[in-house]
Structure 1
């Protein structure tokens, strides 16, 4: 048996297995990414910040917002069931799942003034700078 040929065959098999493994990992991450809610973050000139999170198909009562240490965490549960019953067929499409997004907040955010509202499948969170951290205009004497 030729050791070079055997080594080459073994290397080809290993490479093939690695490539298949990477495909599985990519497919898994693509699937996970489809279930993460999109979020927009913005800083406004009036010393406020906003976070907008898309949560279509989720009811307000299935959203939980928590502030713990320096992290603002939004958890939501989707419970969607589209069911059609007829004499000659039955169709049921369901989408269930838990969403979670966390945002690390800096020390300059006022933890007591966080505001949240939910409208048309979108969660709006407003954060304000702590009063002591807001920019102050200094007059010249």
Structure 2
């Protein structure tokens, strides 16, 4: 076997391993993305911001919202189990999983005035600017 043929085989093996590794990474990221809840961020006015997060199948008591430093984090756990028992069959469908999303907060957000409510599988979070950093109109004299 010539050196050229051996080198070609080695390059082919390396390329095959790289392609398999990239496919594994892609599948992993696709799986992670399927478990991230969708979130909408909107500026409602000059002084407030809204975050809406879809959390279908999550109970209110399984949601935790925390602020640490400049990050607001939402952690939730879905626990779903549907069981059907009959004389001739048994069916059990379940879905369990953790969700986590973090949002960077600017320095002008008042950490003490964060409002959150949960209804119909959607979490609504409202953030307000600090009073001293809200926009003000100045009257002319």
How high is the TM-score relative to the length of structure 2?
0.96
CA distance in 1: counterparts of 2:100 and 2:125, whole angstroms:
15
The alignment of Structure 1 onto Structure 2 pairs a total of residues equal to 141
Provide structure 2 residue ranges, at least 5 long, that are not aligned to the other structure: none
Q: CA deviation at 1:2?
A: 0.5
| Residue equivalent to 2:25 | 25
CA distance in 2: counterparts of 1:32 and 1:84, whole angstroms:
30
Compute the RMSD of aligned alpha carbons: 1.0
Give runs of aligned pairs for residues 1-141 of structure 1, distance below 5 A. Answer: 1-141=1-141
Task: Provide the secondary structure at the position in 2 that maps to 1:139.
Answer: coil
Q: CA deviation at 1:46?
A: 4.2
CA distance in 1: counterparts of 2:90 and 2:48, whole angstroms:
50
CA distance in 1: counterparts of 2:71 and 2:132, whole angstroms:
20
Greater per-residue strand proportion = 2
Higher mean Cα deviation, 114-123 or 20-29? 20-29
How high is the TM-score relative to the length of structure 1?
0.96
| Deviation digits for residues 14-48 of structure 1 (CA, Å, limit 9, x no counterpart) | 10111111111111111111111111001122410
CA distance in 2: counterparts of 1:129 and 1:59, whole angstroms:
29
Is the contact made by 2:46 and 2:134 (CA closer than 8 Å) also made in structure 1? no
CA distance in 2: counterparts of 1:82 and 1:49, whole angstroms:
37
